[in-house]
Amino acid sequence: MAGRSSTSFQKRQKELARQEKQRDKAGKRVARKETKGNSGEGPEVMSIEEAELLRQGVTEQ
């Protein structure tokens, strides 16, 4: 009987570790999604004149 309880205990510990790892991964997923959605940075916007200067290779100083 002692072998059975030891195995059950090990199984329980393994299952708890697996669940904890899943919770950690889910938390990281949510955090990544929040930071990705809240970055607030859109594409860089420039005027037509600035774009033309950039195409011509002229830099502002």
Domain ranges across the chain: 2-56
How large is the C-alpha radius of gyration of the chain? 28
pLDDT recorded at residue 41: 62
Measured distance CA(12)–CA(40) in Å, rounded: 44
pTM value?
0.50
Alpha helices in the chain (DSSP H): 2-37, 48-56
List pLDDT tens digits, range 20-30. 999 999 999 99
pLDDT of residue 50: 84
Residues of the chain with pLDDT under 50: none
Instruction: Output the CA torsion 13→16→22→25 (10° steps).
Output: -80
